[in-house]
Amino acid sequence: MCHQVAYALPCEHIRTQTVYCANATLENRADGRETKGSSAARSPSLIGETKARGSPKDLSYKRPCGNLTVQSLPYPMPPSFAEDPTIFSSSPLSPNCPLSDCPFEMKGRCWNCCWCGKRGNMTGRCGCVMLVDGNSLQCEHLCCNECEPASIGGRV
């Protein structure tokens, strides 16, 4: 049985990790041939990734067996942050996004929302609660290229 875990990162992007069993198949992209995998392997990737998972020289990748289990989890936060989970995203223990153009990472993990104007967001999704005609609405905008970096405690 193969097992895939999708971790939600602080920036709201997803990183997947798959543990392959011996029944996983190795597919060669160059000629389309498949061979049976011989040992378990780990392969980090992003959901929606379209490029080959191997190195540029290795045009093969593993395909999970027919008995794939899938699990979605938030990225595991160390217990020391249980008192104040908002500071976890600025901690060195928090993983960086694997995307080279992640707006949240490019803004130093602290940003001002371009939709509602909330300043000092420390996670990938805006946490502003707005009052409109007596109703509370959550902004929930994801950090984008239009959002501006914010400074907190002299940090930009």
Buried b / exposed e along 136-151 (16+ C-beta atoms within 10 A):
eeebebbbeeebeebe
Same domain for 7 and 61, yes or no, is: yes
Could you list the residue range(s) of the whole structural domain that residue 7 is in?
2-74
Instruction: Give how far the C-alpha of residue 26 lies from the chain's centroid of Cα atoms, to the nearest Å.
Output: 25
pLDDT at 80 over 90: no
In a domain, 109, yes or no: yes
In a domain, 86, yes or no: no
Longest Cα–Cα distance in the chain: 62
Dump pLDDT digits (tens) for 112-131. Answer: 999 999 999 988 999 899 88
Rounded Cα–Cα distance for residues 66 and 124 (Å)? 34
Of 76, 82, 12, residue with least CA distance to 47: 12
In a domain, 119, yes or no: yes
* 25-39, 75-89, 110-124, 132-146: segment of lowest average pLDDT: 25-39
Q: What is the mean pLDDT of residues 93-102?
A: 84
Q: Label residue 96 by pLDDT band (50, 70, 90).
A: confident
Three-class DSSP category at 141: coil
pLDDT of residue 79: 73
Same domain for 8 and 63, yes or no, is: yes
pLDDT at 140 over 80: yes
In a domain, 125, yes or no: yes
Q: Is the pTM of this model over 0.95?
A: no
Strands 68-74 and 2-8: parallel
Rounded mean pLDDT of the chain? 76
Number of domains the chain contains: 2
In a domain, 59, yes or no: yes
Same domain for 60 and 20, yes or no, is: yes
